[in-house]
């Protein structure tokens, strides 16, 4: 029993130390990001070249009409076009985009179809990009997913990053926002705050330590040539995490890869827990394949599982008060991390999300552990298999 207690103590202690060090790094990275964000917001936004906005679509979901409207309502002083692409003309998302576009006749928009992806081209989103690229009029792109909702100055702020002719790509962090707000399920709230805090923490710490060597695909600003520099759409289409692969390859080539300071909203659907869990697990599995060593180290950044081990040790060792203090310390650790990140992102629901983040940290550790459980994942009605390096095999 004494050996078991010693083992529990060491596990709890090591994990608590590493998660505390990580928390301090997050606080420093958040402060650094806040300075950059304030500087960029004060700078004059005087660069407004012609741009093409590329939006792949596949089906529809609650809140998508508002997401699309936010793109038609852009206050951009230069010329821009919106290009939407789905697999088929009957796609509900494409039809919705047409209806929304009809209310904004002054905005130039195109509605395209690309058909089903070709064999060995397993990423349907990238397949849509290939079609959008062939129809785009301009050489500077802003891309975004269908679940993104933006402010009216989004295009103007994102395109400022392309002033630098050496920039290969710029992407940005986001506030995970549960659709339905306070009426959303608790599972969706946990998913949303994880996207805000867990994702942004890792991104900002990585940028602080070594610079940005990846991209986040929710929205990206890049010149047309960047896609070709990394092997073209056919190459990127073999990866599930095409955004990571695109940014990582550009960074290895010496092209500028930047994390912009503009913040967008990423809308999270109100889903039952099992479906939300499966979707989050899919991303964890992808990260494990794309960044195996970095993903392995992520296990030491969580705090709550080690706080629970500390509590269990305290109870088993006859020192329950010390065990409770251990768990409380882990909880405060996560509150500090969430407060720093949500504050700098400007989350309007930061108080509620800070309060629940310790539970999301615990769920994140379960997802991290589950990511080592297999290679197959479910996505849009099909089963895929992840291969080393993040490539995917054809669906069964």
pLDDT in tens, 354-385: 999 999 999 999 999 988 887 766 665 566 67
Nearest to 384 by CA among 371, 370, 374: 374
Please tell me the distance from the alpha carbon of residue 202 to that of residue 26, in angstroms, as a whole number. Answer: 8
The mean per-residue pLDDT over the stretch 248-263 comes to: 96
Concatenate the DSSP letters of all residues of 62-81 into one string. Answer: TTHHHHHHHHHT---SS-EE
Query: Can you say how many angstroms the Cα of residue 215 is from the centroid of all Cα atoms in its chain?
Result: 9
Tell me which of 23-37, 91-105, 133-147, 274-288 is least confident: 274-288
> CA angle at residue 207 from 203 to 209, to 5 degrees?
120
Main-chain phi, psi angles of 317, to 5 degrees: -90, 5
pLDDT for residue 284 is more than 90 = no
Which uninterrupted H or E stretch holds 295?
helix 292-298
CB atoms within 10 A of CB 167: 18
pTM for the full predicted model = 0.93
Cβ proximity of 22 and 298 under 8 Å = no
The reported pLDDT for the residue numbered 381 is 58
CB atoms within 10 A of CB 389: 11
Query: What proportion of the chain, given as a percentage, has pLDDT over 90?
Result: 79
The mean per-residue pLDDT over the stretch 44-55 comes to: 96
What CATH number is attached to the domain comprising 227? 3.90.550.10
Which uninterrupted H or E stretch holds 240?
none
pLDDT for residue 343 is more than 70 = yes
Task: Name the burial class of residue 356, with classes exposed (0-12), middle (13-18) and buried (19+) by CB atoms within 10 angstroms of its CB.
Answer: middle
Q: Does residue 315 fall inside a structural domain? A: no
CB atoms within 10 A of CB 379: 15
Which uninterrupted H or E stretch holds 377?
strand 376-379
pLDDT: which is higher, 120 or 294: 294
The mean per-residue pLDDT over the stretch 69-98 comes to: 97
Cβ proximity of 170 and 158 under 8 Å = yes
> Tokens for 366?
């379960």
Beta-bridge partner residues of 110: 83
> Tokens for 336?
């500090």
Buried b (16+ CB within 10 A) or exposed e, 318-343: eeeeebeebbebbbebbbbbbbbbbe
Beta-bridge partner residues of 174: 264
Query: What proportion of the chain, given as a percentage, has pLDDT over 70?
Result: 95
The reported pLDDT for the residue numbered 202 is 95
Q: Does residue 274 fall inside a structural domain? A: yes
The reported pLDDT for the residue numbered 282 is 82
Please tell me the distance from the alpha carbon of residue 125 to that of residue 237, in angstroms, as a whole number. Answer: 8
The reported pLDDT for the residue numbered 380 is 59
| Sole residue written with tokens 């006859």 | 318
pLDDT: which is higher, 99 or 375: 99
Q: Does residue 182 fall inside a structural domain? A: yes
Q: How many domains are contained in the chain?
A: 1
At residue 60, the 3 state secondary structure works out as coil
Cβ proximity of 200 and 244 under 8 Å = no
The reported pLDDT for the residue numbered 367 is 93
226 — pLDDT class (breaks 50, 70, 90): very high
Domain range for 149 is: 11-303+329-393
Tell me which of 40-44, 173-177, 284-288, 354-358 is least confident: 284-288
Q: What tens digit of pLDDT does each residue of 161-212 get?
A: 999 999 999 999 999 999 887 788 999 999 999 999 999 999 999 999 999 9
The reported pLDDT for the residue numbered 373 is 81
Concatenate the DSSP letters of all residues of 118-164 into one string. Answer: PTT---HHHHHHHHHHHH-SSSEEEEE-TTEE--TTHHHHHHGGGGS
């Amino acid at each position: 029993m004494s050996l078991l207690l010693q083992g529990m103590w060491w596990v709890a202690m090591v994990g608590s130390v590493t998660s505390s060090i990580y928390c301090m790094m997050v606080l420093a990275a958040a402060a650094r990001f806040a300075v950059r964000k304030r500087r960029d917001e004060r700078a004059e936004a005087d660069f407004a070249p012609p741009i093409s906005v590329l939006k792949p679509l596949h089906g529809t979901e609650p809140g998508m009409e508002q997401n699309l409207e936010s793109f038609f309502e852009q206050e951009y002083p230069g010329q821009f076009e919106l290009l939407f692409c789905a697999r088929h003309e009957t796609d509900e998302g494409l039809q919705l985009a047409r209806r929304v576009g009809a209310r904004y006749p002054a905005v130039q928009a195109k509605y395209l179809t690309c058909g089903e992806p070709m064999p060995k081209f397993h990423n349907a989103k990238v397949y849509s990009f290939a079609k959008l690229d062939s129809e785009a009029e301009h050489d500077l792109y802003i891309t975004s997913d269908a679940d993104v909702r933006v402010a009216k100055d989004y295009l103007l702020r994102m395109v400022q990053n392309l002033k630098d002719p050496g920039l290969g790509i710029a992407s940005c962090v986001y506030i995970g926002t549960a659709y339905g707000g306070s009426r959303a399920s608790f599972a969706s709230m946990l998913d949303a705050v994880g996207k805000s805090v867990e994702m942004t923490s890792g991104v900002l710490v990585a940028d602080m330590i070594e610079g940005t060597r990846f991209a986040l695909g929710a929205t990206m600003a890049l010149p047309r040539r960047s896609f070709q520099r990394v092997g073209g759409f056919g190459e990127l289409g073999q990866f599930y995490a095409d955004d990571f692969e695109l940014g990582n390859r550009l960074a290895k080539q010496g092209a500028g890869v930047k994390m912009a300071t503009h913040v967008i909203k990423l809308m999270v659907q109100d889903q039952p827990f099992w479906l939300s869990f499966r979707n989050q697990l899919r991303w964890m599995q992808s990260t494990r394949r794309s960044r195996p060593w970095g993903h392995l180290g992520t296990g030491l950044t969580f705090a709550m599982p080690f706080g629970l081990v500390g509590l269990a040790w305290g109870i088993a060792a006859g020192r329950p008060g010390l065990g409770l203090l251990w768990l409380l310390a882990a909880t405060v650790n996560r509150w500090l991390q969430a407060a720093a990140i949500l504050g700098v992102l400007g989350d309007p629901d930061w108080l509620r999300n800070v309060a629940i983040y310790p539970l999301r940290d615990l769920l994140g550790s379960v997802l991290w552990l589950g990511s080592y459980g297999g290679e197959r994942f479910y996505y849009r009605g099909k089963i895929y298999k992840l291969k080393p390096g993040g490539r995917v095999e054809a669906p069964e």
